[in-house]
Chain A
Amino acid sequence: MKRFALSIALAVFAFGVFIQGADAAKWTSEMKEGKPEFKSMGPLAFGPDGILFVADTKAAAITAIATGDTKADASAKPLKVEAINQKIAALLGTDADQILIEDLAINPISRNAYLAVSRGRGPDAVPVLVRVKADGQPEVVSLDKVKFSRAGLPDPPADAMVGQGNRQSNPRRESITDIGFLDGRLFIAGLANEEFASTLRSIPFPFKTVANGTNVEIYHGAHGRFETRAPVRTFTTFKIGKEDHLLAAYTCTPLVQFPVSELKPGAKIKGKTIAELGNRNRPLDMIVYQKDGKTYLLMANSSRGVMKITTEQIDKAESITAPVADKKGLPYETIASWTGVDQLDRFDANHVVVLRRTEGGSLNLESLPLP
Chain B
Amino acid sequence: MMRRLIVKTQRDKGTKRQKQALLLILLCSFVPLFLCVEKARSGAASQDQVLIRWTPDPVNPSRVAVEVSGLSAGAIKRLRQSNWDLSRWQRLLSVYVGQGDSINASSLPPMLGVYRVESNALRFEPQFPLEPGLTYRAVWRPDQLPGGSKVAPTITSVFQSPRRSATPTTLVSHVYPSADTLPENLLKFYVHFTAPMSRGNIYDHIHLRDGSGGNVELPFLEIDEELWDTTMTRLTLIIDPGRIKRGVLPLEEIGPALETGKNYTLVIGRELRDGAGNPLREEFQKAFKVAPPDREPPDPAHWKIHPPQGGARQPLAVIFPEPMDHALAQRVIRVITESGEPVEGNVLLEDQERRWIFAPDSIWRRGRYQLIIQTTLEDLAGNNIGKPFEVDLFEGVERRLSTTAVKLSFEIR
Question: Which positions in A face B, CB cutoff 8 Å?
Answer: 42, 57-58, 82-83, 86-87, 89-96, 98, 100, 102, 118-119, 121-126, 137-138, 140, 157-160, 162-164, 169-173, 175, 177, 191, 193-197, 215, 217, 219, 221, 223-231, 250-252, 266, 268, 270, 279-280, 282, 284, 302, 321, 323-326, 362
Contacts and interface: CB of A to CB of B under 8 A. Distances in A.
A21 B315 CA distance: 64
Contacts of B246: 223-224, 226
B10 interface: no
A196 B238 CA distance: 9
Contact of B327 (A157, A158, A172, A197): A172
Contact of A217 (B236, B247, B376, B401): B401
Interface in B224-275: 224-225, 227-232, 234, 236, 238, 240-242, 246-247, 249, 251-254, 273, 275
B5 interface: no
B131 A95 contact: yes
A122 B232 contact: yes
A196 B327 CA distance: 12
Contact of B392 (A89, A118, A121, A225): A225
27 contacts: A87-B108, A87-B109, A89-B97, A90-B102, A92-B112, A93-B128, A93-B131, A94-B134, A95-B131, A122-B276, A140-B127, A157-B403, A158-B374, A171-B229, A171-B327, A172-B331, A175-B223, A194-B331, A195-B328, A195-B332, A195-B376, A196-B188, A227-B390, A229-B241, A231-B221, A284-B224, A323-B253
A273 to B, nearest CB: 12
Contact of A93 (B97, B325, B331, B374): B97
A95 B393 contact: no
Given A93-B130, A169-B231, A251-B221, A86 B394 contact: no
Contacts of B391: 226-227
A323 B249 contact: yes
Given A122-B197, A122-B198, A158-B374, A282 B254 contact: no
Interface string B213-226: 00001100111110
B127 A92 contact: yes
B146 interface: no
Interface in B314-354: 325, 327-328, 330-332, 334, 346-347
Given A158-B374, A160-B332, A162-B331, A230 B242 contact: yes
A94 B131 CA distance: 6
Nearest to B223: A175
Interface of B: 95-97, 99-100, 102-103, 107-112, 126-131, 134, 136, 187-188, 196-200, 217-218, 221-225, 227-232, 234, 236, 238, 240-242, 246-247, 249, 251-254, 273, 275-276, 325, 327-328, 330-332, 334, 346-347, 374, 376, 378, 382, 384, 389-394, 399, 401-403
Given A86-B103, A170-B230, A171-B327, A94 B378 contact: no
Contacts of B392: 225-227
Given A223-B242, A226-B393, A280-B217, A171 B231 contact: yes
Contact of A325 (B227, B252, B325): B252
B128 A219 contact: no
A158 B393 contact: no
A221 B199 contact: no
B402 A157 contact: no
A284 to B, nearest CB: 8
A171 B199 contact: no
B389 A252 contact: no
Contacts of A42: 225
A197 B376 contact: yes
A118 B200 CA distance: 11
Contacts of B222: 251, 282, 302
A223 B110 CA distance: 52
State the majority secondary structure of interface residues on A.
loop
Chain B CB within 10 A, most for which of A118, A250, A282, A302: A282
Q: Give the top 7 A-B pairs by smallest Cβ distance, nearest first.
A: A171-B229, A122-B275, A121-B198, A90-B108, A193-B227, A93-B111, A279-B253
B23 to A, nearest CB: 30
A90 B331 contact: no
A96 B253 contact: no
Given A170-B230, A177-B223, A362 B103 contact: yes
Contact of A90 (B97, B253, B346, B389): B97
Given A86-B102, A170-B230, A194-B325, 8 more contacts: A91-B112, A169-B230, A195-B376, A215-B401, A223-B241, A229-B389, A251-B240, A362-B103
A193 B236 contact: yes
B199 A95 contact: no
Contacts of B390: 226-227
A231 B227 CA distance: 13
Contacts of B240: 230, 251-252
B160 to A, nearest CB: 14
A328 B234 CA distance: 38
A196 B382 contact: yes
B200 A196 contact: no
A130 B291 CA distance: 50
A221 B393 contact: yes
Contacts of B389: 196, 229
B231 A225 contact: no
A263 to B, nearest CB: 13
B247 A122 contact: no
A162 B227 contact: no
A82 B376 CA distance: 47
B217 A57 contact: no
A164 B96 contact: no
Contacts of A102: 224-225
Contacts of A170: 230, 331
